[in-house]
Amino acid sequence: MSLHVQIITPQKTVFEADADSVIIPSMEGELTVLTHHVPLFTPLVDGIVELKTEKDDYFFSIGGGYLETDGKKAIILVSRASGQDEVDEKEVKLAEERARKMVVEAKTDEERQQAMESLRRSTIDIKLLQKVRRKH
């Protein structure tokens, strides 16, 4: 028996299928959810969601949000989500370079905070690409 998983952003449902396990970035560290998991509602942090199915593994770069599971289904509500096929390595590296430059050139705390957020997203996307490479 599998766990029915949905990854939902404000714009759309990014993923919906059955999975054997889900590894998510929670505030306490990585959390693995399997079928028959105890009911849980927990906040999520920016990071990588890893879904394992019978046929393949899927990776998503996510923004913060929440996970709710009852052991039969897992609903992952997040601010943003990009699948492994949506992340372009060249674009991510350019974004990382721009973000690093913005951090150095920031004149206000707000500018620095925005630059750090961009840098954090780029770093997560780079880690996602590394995980995908290791799996294939």
Distance CA 41, CA 124 (A): 23
Judged by DSSP in three states, 71 sits in: coil
Torsion sign (Cα): 16, 78, 90, 135: negative
Fold of 3-83: ATP Synthase; domain 1 (2.60.15)
Nearest 5°: phi and psi at 12?
-170, 170
CATH 2.60.15.10 domain extents, the chain? 3-83
> What pLDDT does residue 136 have?
63
As averages over each run of 10 residues, the pLDDT of the chain (136 residues) reads: 94 96 95 95 96 92 96 96 86 86 87 87 87 79
- How far from 87 is each of 20, 84, 131, CA to CA, in Å? 24, 6, 12
- Shortest CA distance to 101 belongs to which of 125, 74, 86, 119? 119
